[in-house]
Amino acid sequence: MVSPTRRRVLTTVVAMALAGSLTASSEAQPPTSGVQGASWWANAVLRRMSLEEKVGQLFVTYAYGSGADSRHPKNQAEFGVDTPAEVVRRYHLGGVIYFSWTDSLADPKQVAGLSNGLQRAALTSGAGVPLLISTDQEHGVVARFGPPATQFPGNMALGATRSPDVARKAARIAGAELRAVGVNQNYAPVADVNTNPANPVIGVRSFSSDPELAARMVAAQVRGYEGEGRPERGVSATVKHFPGHGDTNVDSHSGLPVIHHDREQWRRLDAPPFRAAIDQGADMIMSAHIVVPKLDDSQEPATVSRKVLTGILREELGFRGVVITDSLQMDAVRKRYPDAELAVRALEAGADQLLMPQNLRAAYDGVLAAVRDGRLSERRIDESVRRVLTMKYNRGITRHPFVDETAVDRKVGTREHLAAAQEIADRTTTALRNDDNLLPLRDKPGRVLVTGWGEATTTALAEKISARGPATTRLATGAKPNPKAIDEAVAAAGNHDLTVVLTSRAWDDAPQQELVRRLAESGRPVVAVAVRDPYDAAYVEQARTWLTTYSHSQAAMESLTKVLFGETSPRGKLPVTVPVPGKPDTARFPFGHGLSW
């Protein structure tokens, strides 16, 4: 009888052998590398695949469970099988995406084990093609893979450094840590240019409101994520959200945004980061669920617009990589079409992969039916599958589908990586106002109150201030503080030498604005800090000392504390213009603004 341990080892060996067998043929010897090698391998695999296996390569979805063979009731409810491995086998998936809510991201060793298990499932069934394994690790406000993985400031914070080298370094480290746990594709960087301060879904996920700065940072991150010439050390970058989601005040998760840029405005404002990414050889671009009537007068969302995905992205910009949709569960598109029709229309428009359909079975069967009925040709399916296979080959996934689970601790969240994240964060904190010359704190305060938004964030900042000596009190009031919470914070401020109040999206939160206003009018020293959108600082003129960190990470709070106590000078420069409320064309804090001391 074979022991479970030996069975796992044998399974891995068989899977690796299968992966290797796809690079050899009795008919011809493959080219060793490069474009010819990728093309040869993709075509050889494509010839072996059934239609069902080809269609499976076009789908990317999640599965529930911390291990490939973990049984989870939600898998049965959504996919008709019990385990993540069975989801992969049943639908011949091209890719899997990880979330914490699917139990996929508990800790690095668990993630590595899950990745290896899913790769074994893919390689020992069907066409034997390894998986794209992905997550959304933009950093900042969208970071699925938490500590001990290294957490970097988000894109707008990186934009405040003005340094493509910093952006590249953050992406290189982040990509290497993802690859160490078997994640070989990242849904980042965001290429949207945040020209609308009221944007509810992009904001600090964007590098800048300036197209050229955003383009430089996106290009640098593509290089960093994709391993800077060492594909097996990096991950496929996924540049999003084409044709540009920056100028909207509607969240496409819940509604359908309409952007009124004409073609010339689009070329000037939205296109530069995507052009830069294509020039750098980005593996993948994600479509946006937005309508741009002057790019396509059909009023169709870009995800199902042939004029946008094929006419503009493929033909005008010359993109030859993989086009993936944004999540097909989002209301912007799902309220428009049933799951099967939505999948078919996205492929007709020019998409290659379909992300997270609400009903995978309906979408999968719908694509199969469209081919069998002649609506989609098998040649059209082959075009997309060939692109997906080529990307897997070029990223080194076919040669290195598995990761060393014993080496994870030596590669993820290392001392060197954490130090790099702190060094980068120290370049991002931006001082917007210091009207009373309150900062840096020349005399160390005896008692400090930390209040405002965020239980974890106020706790982290209070701990870091306390470590410098002051007796520190934390009083979190959260988003939309009620009058009682505001009164308590103002009363507490009267008993402290300094109050630091944190805000997050206060530009859209009147109670947070009232909290800052009341504290500023209390007569006690107050430092207001926007730990997300810098736009908050324009909404409370009574606060005469304003900083922004663009991020509420531990590294950002350490950087903030250093600035407060004069250990470092604020080095960040605004990567966006902060307008006067109600006057979008009048700058309260202009692009590039940033005080220092």
What's the rounded Cα separation, in Å, for the pair 32 and 44?
14
The Cα 319–Cα 422 span in angstroms is: 35
Backbone φ and ψ for 339, nearest 5 degrees, come out as -60, -45
Q: How far apart are CA 93 and CA 62, in angstroms?
A: 10
User: How many C-beta neighbours within 10 Å does residue 373 have?
Assistant: 8
Residue 3 burial (CB count, 10 A): 8
Give the distance from CA 489 to its chain's centroid. Answer: 35
pTM score, whole prediction = 0.93
Give pLDDT, residue 30: 57
DSSP per-residue letters across 100-120: GGGT--S-HHHHHHHHHHHHH
Is residue 478 predicted with pLDDT exceeding 70?
yes
Supply the pLDDT for residue 168: 98
State the residue for tokens 């800090």: 529
Task: Please give the Cα distance from 568 to 521 (Å, whole number).
Answer: 28
Does the structure show a pLDDT above 70 at 109?
yes
Q: Is the pLDDT of residue 570 over 60?
A: yes
User: Do residues 94 and 184 lie in contact, with contact meaning Cβ atoms separated by under 8 Å?
Assistant: no
Order of strands, sheet of 236-242, starting from the edge strand that comes earlier in the sequence: 322-324, 284-287, 236-242, 185-186, 132-135, 95-97, 59-61, 354-355
> Is residue 489 within a helix (H) or strand (E), and if so which, with residue range?
helix 483-493
Q: Which residues are the active-site residues?
A: 253, 326
For helices 483-493 and 510-520, angle between their N-to-C axes, nearest 10 degrees:
20
What's the pLDDT band for 252 if we cut at 50, 70, 90? confident
In CATH terms, is domain 426-589 a member of 3.40.50.1220?
A: no
- pLDDT tens-digit map of 205-228: 999 999 999 999 999 999 999 998
Mean predicted confidence (pLDDT) in 7-24? 42
CA nearest neighbour of 280 among 189, 200, 397, 144: 189
Integer Cα distance of 284 and 392 in angstroms: 11
Task: Summarize the confidence of residues 97-117 as an average pLDDT.
Answer: 98
The superfamily (CATH) of domain 4-415 is: Glycoside hydrolase, family 3, N-terminal domain (3.20.20.300)
pLDDT the model gives residue 33: 56
According to DSSP, residue 308 is labeled I
Mean pLDDT, residues 116-131 taken together: 95
pLDDT exceeds cutoff 50 at 2: no
Continuous H helices in 375-445:
378-394, 415-425
CA distance 66 to 50: 30
Residue by residue, what is the 3-state secondary structure of 353-383? EEECCCCHHHHHHHHHHHHHCCCCCHHHHHH
Q: Is the CB of residue 175 less than 8 Å from the CB of residue 234?
A: yes
Q: Quick one: average pLDDT of 180-196?
A: 98
What is residue 378's predicted lDDT score, i.e. its pLDDT? 98
538-556, pLDDT tens digit by residue?
999 999 999 999 999 999 9
Among 484, 546, 538, 476, which residue's Cα sits nearest to residue 506? Answer: 538
Q: How confident is the model at residue 11 (pLDDT cuts 50, 70, 90)?
A: very low
Share of the chain above pLDDT 70, in %: 94
- Using a 10 angstrom Cβ sphere, with 0-12 exposed, 13-18 middle and 19 or more buried, the burial of residue 379 is exposed
The helix or strand, by DSSP H or E, that contains position 554, with its residue range, turns out to be helix 554-564
Cβ-based neighbour number of residue 396 at 10 Å: 17
Residue boundaries of the structural domains of the chain:
4-415, 426-589
Residues 209 and 589: their CA atoms lie apart, in Å, by 13
pLDDT of residue 233: 84
Which pLDDT score, from 0 to 100, does residue 568 have? Answer: 97
pLDDT digit string (tens) for 301-338?
999 999 999 999 999 999 999 999 999 999 999 999 99
In three-state secondary structure terms, 352 is: coil
Cα(120)–Cα(8) distance, rounded to whole angstroms? Answer: 10
Say whether pLDDT at 28 is over 90.
Answer: no
For residue 478, the tally of other CB atoms under 10 A from its CB is 16
Tokens 């830069």 found at: 276
If one counts every other C-beta atom within 10 angstroms of the C-beta of residue 216, the result is: 21
- Cβ distance 184 to 139 under 8 Å? no
What pairs with residue 514 in β-bridges?
A: none
pLDDT at 32: 53
The closest of 384, 385, 295, 300 to 345, measured between CA atoms, is: 300
Residue 260 has pLDDT above 50, yes or no: yes
- pLDDT at site 41: 93
- Please name the residue ranges forming H helices in 163-254: 164-180, 211-225
The sign of the torsion formed by the CA atoms of 452, 454, 455, 457 equals negative
Output the pLDDT for position 236.
Answer: 98
